[in-house]
Amino acid sequence: MLNILAMNPEVDLNYILQSLCLTILFVGLIGFERQRRNKIAGLTTHLLVAIGAAGLTIAQQKMVFDTIMFVRETLANEPELLEYMDIPLQRQRIVAQIVSGIGFLGTGAILKTNGYISGLTTASTLWISAIIGIIFGYGMYDLGIALSLMTLFVLTIIKNVIRHNVEEFH
């Protein structure tokens, strides 16, 4: 049988601080890279997006954990209520709204002037910052660190290699 408690750890102060500190550290690196390049959204914007996403995800995790504990206690007395429980589907609602909201925010970072479009990378980094915040908020620290490092790799190494090769080509 699936152990739903193992997938939903208790949200205590240690969990909250780990999630938020990792979000600040890793998304801070992404935001710093954007600010260093004088982009429209820099360190502060990226951190606020990611901390907000992590905070909402942590709140959602807390609600899921509390619901699981309530269900566990209720089922001990009334096991026939199991068929009315809908916990796995409910846990995605807040995250879905975060992703939608970040799409709106990212749209504001994209500018089109004289047929030239700018801000797509910054909009993408805002989006990935929210995703990283969500992942750390869920307590998936290994995935959050890996995603952050891959994002930084793309923003620094890959982007510079492509830029260098394009300049040589012309």
Give the tens place of pLDDT for each residue, 130-167: 999 999 998 999 999 999 999 999 999 887 777 766 66
Structure tokens at 99: 């992703």
pLDDT digits (tens, 9 = 90+) for 89-118: 556 778 888 888 888 888 888 887 888 888
pTM for the complete prediction? 0.76
Q: Are residues 152 and 29 in contact, defined by beta-carbon separation less than 8 angstroms?
A: yes
Structural domain spans, the chain: 11-162
- Tell me the Cα Rg of the chain: 20
**Position of tokens 């360190």?**
43
End-to-end alpha-carbon separation of the chain, Å?
61
d(CA 119, CA 31): 14
